[in-house]
């Protein structure tokens, strides 16, 4: 791909971005944060920005000893927190939600600086945190068990749910704050404590979230050691994975990461909640409302510069609508403003780093070699020399003759492959043919097609939508997927059960001692 000059703007200077970050952090910490933010380039964790590709600050890295101490403190705090009434635990999360509302713009500013999200998406991510806090507060009074009919007279059989322990949370760069909130808000009302290892690419947002939770704990007089932040690389994450005091490891990242985390936690009989890759498809049928379909496809495929796990990566279009659909998607792509994500009107921000760009280039080269017809995908010169270290691209739409191996791979970039189908059965088979199973969609006005897509022999994904794209899930539903996506569920519905342990209780309130299954003994 060659560099082109489209949507060329002036990028903010590194001094300007540093000042914005300091101001946002100072508002959240309620004090200057100069002591926490070292000069860029020193030893430690490097806070950078994909907006210009430059380093902003150097932060102190958590040592192995400090990580062990954090897990110890969380385990000790758990012994107090687990017996705290759940509605009292909910008061902590309620206060966190209030602080998130107060500092919504501050936190969104940091998300934009570190993850490169456009302002509206960054604000939306913080709103997701607020929403899940509200959900968790209600949940704190609804951690229900069940009563089960006993076969023995004078007996009651029931299930109860109890706090699990220390929850280790490992998050990715693309949702640097929302996924932490999904896990932490639910875990805390369930009576667990949390130790968080964020992506090395987003340490500033992590510091801000931890500061807000610590403020919330002080405000409601909760134990101060309920949540801990570990800044560092793979070795710090491995401590969470391997420590037997960490009852649950909730990890978001690549399939390769999950293939390593899952067996290591299982070896010590811990629990895992994995949110891994997605290779999400939308079927577009002959009856589809194409205006609706194009809008849904473009946001799902190009939003966050294609760097969501729920990003739309494949369109499976009926042969009768494919030509028109591709033309309209390509036209919409050409109108998308690419540039500084903090600027009003920008719809596509930067890729996170050069590796992501190189992966996109390689995928498009392979698609072309496989017979793909590519529109878009060029690197965009946004800031001239000032943006030489940043990687902005035009979203690409690629018409493929078939689902070749490259289409089965998840490339974390705005590449949309389009293949065609003749029958709905063929389309569903193409949807299910990839190793991942996170999100899926169908655009149709035929109720039979919609119901068939959501049936047991329809989409094999954890999310199956009708007349809406694959991204932008609400917190009320359980979020997660099957196959190489990992099988975990977070956020809404009954996902809280992953953070608790189940006990089956039998109570004999009679003066007899009948045995189950009619067994006689003595």
Active site residues: 275, 309
- Closest-CA residue to 202 (of 352, 340, 38): 352
Contact 59, 37 (CB under 8 A): yes
Q: Which residue(s) pair with 55 in the sheet?
A: 48
Q: How far apart are CA 446 and CA 65, in angstroms?
A: 60
Q: Are 367 and 398 in contact (CB under 8 A)?
A: yes
Dihedral through CA 247, CA 44, CA 223, CA 110, nearest 10? -100
262 Cβ neighbours under 8 A, 6+ residues apart: 272, 274, 486
Q: List the beta bridge partners of residue 162.
A: 501
Dist. CA 265–CA 258, nearest whole Å = 10
Question: Beta partners for 397?
Answer: 375, 416
Give me the long-range contacts of 455-460 (CB less than 8 A, separation at least 24). Answer: 457/428, 458/428, 459/428, 459/431, 459/432, 460/431, 460/432
- Number of C-beta neighbours around residue 375 at 10 A: 18
User: Which residues have C-beta within 8 Å of that of residue 260, sequence separation ≥ 6?
Assistant: none
26 contacts 33 by C-beta, under 8 angstroms = yes
Where are the alpha helices (H) located in 147-289, listed in sequence order? 178-189, 203-219, 234-242, 255-267
Q: How far apart are the first and last CA of the chain?
A: 83
Rounded Cα gap, residues 61 and 58, in angstroms: 9
Selection from 45, 66, 69 nearest residue 55 by Cα: 45
Beta-carbon contacts of residue 135 (< 8 Å; ≥ 6 apart): 185, 475, 476, 491, 492
DSSP strand pairing (280-284 vs 490-491): unpaired
């Amino acid at each position: 791909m060659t560099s082109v000059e489209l949507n060329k703007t002036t990028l903010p200077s590194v001094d300007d971005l540093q000042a914005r970050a300091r101001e946002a952090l100072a508002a959240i910490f309620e004090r200057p944060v100069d002591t926490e933010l070292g000069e860029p380039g020193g030893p430690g964790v490097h806070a950078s920005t994909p907006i210009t590709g430059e380093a902003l600050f150097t932060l102190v890295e958590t040592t192995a000893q400090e990580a062990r101490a954090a897990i110890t403190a969380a385990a000790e705090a758990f012994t107090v927190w687990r017996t705290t009434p759940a509605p009292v635990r909910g008061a902590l999360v309620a206060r966190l939600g209030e602080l998130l509302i107060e500092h919504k713009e501050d936190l969104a500013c940091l998300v934009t600086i570190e993850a490169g999200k456009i302002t509206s998406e960054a604000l939306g991510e913080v709103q997701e945190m607020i929403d899940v806090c509200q959900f968790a507060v209600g949940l704190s009074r609804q951690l229900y068990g069940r009563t089960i009919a006993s076969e023995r007279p004078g007996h009651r059989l029931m299930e109860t749910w109890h706090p699990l322990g220390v929850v280790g949370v490992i998050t990715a760069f693309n949702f640097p704050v929302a996924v932490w909130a999904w896990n932490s808000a639910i875990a805390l009302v369930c009576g667990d404590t949390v130790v968080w290892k964020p992506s090395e690419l987003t340490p500033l947002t992590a510091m801000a979230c931890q500061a807000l939770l610590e403020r919330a704990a002080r405000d409601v007089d909760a134990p101060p050691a309920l949540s801990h932040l570990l800044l560092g690389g793979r070795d710090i994450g491995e401590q969470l994975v391997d420590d037997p005091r960490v009852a649950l490891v909730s990890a978001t990242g690549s399939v390769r990461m999950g293939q390593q985390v899952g067996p290591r936690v299982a070896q010590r009989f811990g629990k895992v909640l994995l949110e891994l890759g997605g290779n999400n498809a939308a079927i577009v049928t002959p009856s589809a409302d194409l205006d609706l379909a194009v809008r849904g496809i473009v946001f799902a495929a190009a939003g966050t510069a294609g760097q969501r796990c729920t990003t739309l990566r494949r369109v499976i279009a009926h042969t009768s609508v494919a030509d028109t659909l591709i033309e309209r998607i390509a036209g919409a792509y050409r109108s998308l403003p690419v540039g500084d994500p903090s600027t009003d009107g920008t719809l596509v921000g930067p890729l996170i780093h050069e590796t992501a760009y190189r992966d996109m280039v390689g995928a498009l080269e392979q698609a072309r070699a496989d017979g793909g017809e590519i529109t878009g995908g060029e690197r965009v010169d946004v800031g001239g020399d000032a943006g030489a270290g940043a990687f902005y691209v035009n979203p690409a739409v690629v018409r493929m003759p078939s689902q070749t191996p490259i289409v089965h791979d998840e490339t974390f970039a705005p590449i949309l492959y389009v293949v065609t189908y003749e029958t709905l059965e063929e389309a569903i088979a193409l949807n299910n043919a990839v190793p991942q199973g996170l999100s899926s969609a169908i655009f149709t006005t035929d109720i039979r097609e919609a119901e068939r897509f959501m049936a047991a022999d329809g989409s094999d994904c954890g999310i199956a939508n009708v007349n809406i794209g694959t991204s932008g899930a609400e917190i009320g539903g359980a979020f997660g997927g099957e196959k190489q996506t990992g099988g975990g569920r977070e956020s809404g519905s009954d996902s809280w059960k992953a953070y608790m342990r189940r006990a089956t209780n039998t109570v004999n309130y009679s003066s007899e001692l009948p045995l189950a299954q009619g067994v006689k003994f003595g």
